[in-house]
Amino acid sequence: MTRFWPSFLTEIIKIKNSFAKWLILVGAFLMPAFVAFVALTKWKHLVNEVHDHPWALFSEMTWKGMAFFYSVFFIVLLICLYFNIEYKNNTWKQVFTLPIRKGQVYINKLLAVVLFVVCYYILFVPCWILLGYLLGAIRPQLQLTTHMPDLELLLQHCFHSIISSLSIIAIHIWLSIRFKNMIIPIGLAVFCSIVMVALFQGSAMEVKYFPYAYHYLSVTRPYFFHESKWGLLPEHEWYSLGFFFVFTLLGYWDFTRKFSGNQ
């Protein structure tokens, strides 16, 4: 029986020099950099909105961007690129001729994706703070250097962001097992993003049952959306955990029984 840690660590080695690794590194920097750039070009307008809470404004701008870019494009692309390493190199047959259970391979892959997402946040937090201070140094009028960022709120956002993303992680891992061609999961994600926008435009409360909207619901508060909090988490995040559980089981079943890498 293959030990867990060595086999799990091989999943980390596999992303060396790959697009998936660069997506994590560049992605963590991209959104704060984009928001900082927008703030730099529209600083005169933003100065009037600061009201002594410059970091709260910078945070809101960043998380609104994150809600769209991160949940749909980052996660879907990351999973597709990560699974594509095996498809492109035709290495599934190598994986399945090693003395390791298929179930363990699946668990390793799932945990690796979750770890990559956590790594993304670990890189995102310092990037966000650094770019905030840099912006403040260039435009002192924005008061970012004279105030402290609200780290507690930032970490809370990160925590809820990860929980709400779990549903899409499990769904897209399952899709990457079902379809060798990465255009299919990406196409589906784009379509679901359009549906999400339509649901928000229609102020539909049913949005809480739609996994592609969970990240947006966690990091912003649409005016029409009211939901109860069950324990530590809001209702839709419990649903996210539910989707994660169901699709993880479905993926496990598919992977261990049918998957051969030739789909």
Partner 1 sequence: MGKFIIETNNLSFGYDKMVPVFDKINLQVETSAIYGFVGPNGAGKTTLIRLLLGLLPHQTGQITLFGKHLANNRIDILSRLGCLVEQPSLYENLTGRDNLRITCMIRGLPKHSIHTVLKMTGLTDAADKRVDAYSLGMKQRLGLAMALLPEPALLVLDEPVNGLDPTGIIEVRELLIHLNKEYGTTIFLSSHLLSELEKLVTHIGVLQKGALVFQGSTAELETIQQQQSFVIVDTSNNQACFSLLKNDSSLISFKGDQLMVPYRDKMEIGDLCKKIVLAGLSIYEVKVVQHDLEDIFMKLTTN
* DSSP characters over 199-238: HHHTT-GGGGG-GGGHHHHHHS--TT----EETTEEHHHH
| Identified binder of partner 1 from the candidate list 4, 37, 42, 93, rule CB under 8 A | 93
**Which of 42, 93 has the CB closer to partner 1?**
93
CB of 83 to partner 1, least distance (A): 13
Six token digits for residue 143: 């008061």
- Tokens linked to 34: 């984009």
Q: Is there binding between residue 26 and partner 1 (CB under 8 A)?
A: no
List 63, 82, 83, 92, residue binding partner 1 (CB under 8 A) = 92
Helix axes 54-68, 102-138, angle to 10 degrees: 140
Q: How far is residue 140 CA from its own chain's centroid?
A: 32
Distance CA(43)–CA(4), nearest Å, equals 51
Q: Which amino acid is at 70?
A: Y
At 100, the amino acid letter reads I
C-alpha 194 chain-centroid distance: 18
Q: State the Rg of the chain over Cα.
A: 20
Binding map of partner 1 across residues 98-117, x = CB under 8 A, - = no contact: xxxx----------------
Instruction: Examine residue 2 and tell whether it contacts partner 1 (CB under 8 A).
Output: yes
Which one of 40-48, 87-95, 143-151, 198-206 is the stretch in contact with partner 1 (CB under 8 A)?
A: 87-95
Which CB sits closer to partner 1, 98 or 118?
98
Single out the residue of 48, 97, 201, 228 in contact with partner 1 (rule: CB under 8 A): 97
| 256 near partner 1, rule: CB under 8 A | no
Q: Which is nearer to partner 1, 100 or 130 (CB)?
A: 100
Residues binding partner 1: number (CB under 8 A): 27
In the complex, which residues of this chain contact partner 1 (CB under 8 A)? 1-3, 6-7, 9-10, 13-14, 16-18, 85, 88-94, 96-101, 260
